Structure 1
Amino acid sequence: MYVRPDAVEALNNEVFRKALQWYYAVLLDNLPAKFIIAKTVECPEKPDKLELEGLWSLHRELSKQFDSLWREVRSENITYDDFIKRYRVAEPNFLDLKISIARNMLRQCRFCEWRCGVDRLSGKRGACRLDARAYVHSWFLHLGEEAPLVPSGTIFYGSCNFRCVYCQNWDISQVHPYSGAVVDARSLALIQRELREEGARNINHVGGDPTPNTHLILESMKYLDVNIAQLWNSNFYMSEECMELLIHVIDIWLPDFKYGNNECAKRLSGI
């Protein structure tokens, strides 16, 4: 497989390695990805027994435990291999809690700042035009991203909560968002494993936009059993609640900072 020369050189670039320390450590298996750590933080109650308020209260508590373990992993430089020997997957765990919260949020969806409040679990659709299903249009090793990311295991999700007139993926974000394959969490995990085995440095969730599919992406990590950095490539119009769910499982972020004023945002992206 051809890889751009600058992408090859990026592995040994000290500027990149210093700026992206966590990402590089996960890439080289020197540290476990965040979602793997999250699966070892035990949840003391079954999430499906709690209402949303109780779920969030428990989430705040387990966030502190995760942060403590994450700092320990970093300070002691616990490699991926050593981590999975030392820590077992808890049942239920912090990731299970996040999955339950995300599913609960779908009943009055507020994954993004449109805060539509529609019941996507019952088939209703809001600004993103999606119900609870996720449509994957393609996945492959992307060679066109920034050098430290290439080859990037990119997964393109259908639909978006923006209406950008200049969108380079207009066909899947606006015109034919439902023409992709409907995937469940297990099949999405298999896609990620396949990309990792093909040589992906990361799993690049993009689209369209990944935010409306937060629930399924989180659940896919439950079944993912390989160490690989998770990358969120988004317009970053997610809500604070959605960010709280993602921050403990995403290893590197690729946000779009599109506008300096609201007038341009409304004229060009409909927001």
Structure 2
Amino acid sequence: MAAPTVHTPNLAFAAEAEPVSGATPYERYARLDVLHTLQQPRSKVDAELSFIITTQVMELLFDLLRHEWSLAQQALREDAVGPALAALRRGCHVQDVLNSSWDLLATLTPVEFSAFRPVLGEASGFQSSAYLLLEFLLGNKSERLLEMYQDSPATHQELAAALRAPGLYDDVLALLARRGLLAGAEAPGTGRYRPSEAVAAAWLTVYTDPAQAELAALAEALLDTAERVSRWRQRHYASVKRTMGSKPGTGGSSGLNWLKAAADQDVFPELWTVRGAL
């Protein structure tokens, strides 16, 4: 099985492709001359700047989280549980920062948001391809969601490849199969992951057999990841409910209803259900 693509910028190419300016080596390394020009509010509402910066920070953290999960996948495919655990734990720290970033929007009142909401047009966080890639990695796949990227061939191609590629949990289950705990891991599908009694039984063995301590540690790291995904979705739901109530989403989504349904979905479901049998 081919190793996953690790999302790492080609700094050497970037440096060769265009001149890098900046007053100090630090500014040139971090491209601060570019970074600090990317916040351009379209209204005169003070709160819009906070909204833009928070959104941009989240997008950068999505990329970092994808990088860590891709490294975890690569390690799992090499039967290297230790490095996979390290990547998942780093990813949990990224998730903690992501979840805390909602605090920056906690004081955004409905009046403030409504004052600059018209300048967003049809723009919505629902359209974030970086976040959608994370959802695909978590097994929450939907080919229908690719339709909004038809006019962006490169992004559509990247998402289509991720849709058909193994997600993080697929690689975990493939490892369980190689360790003799599953009869065989199913090929990754292009739809949402469906819970399996066989997978639940495999996790029960992992948790109750002292010889499987390494995999039990992996299970707990995955549950740490899953719990933080739930927190993210819940914070997103609460933030939208606070700032815009039941209004439809700017991108045409059902707003609160869609977010509530997402918040109610468990990631890596058997790791939750097996706890009732322990």
TM-score by length of 1: 0.23
Higher helix share: 2
Which has the greater radius of gyration? 2
Higher strand share: 1
TM-score by length of 2: 0.23
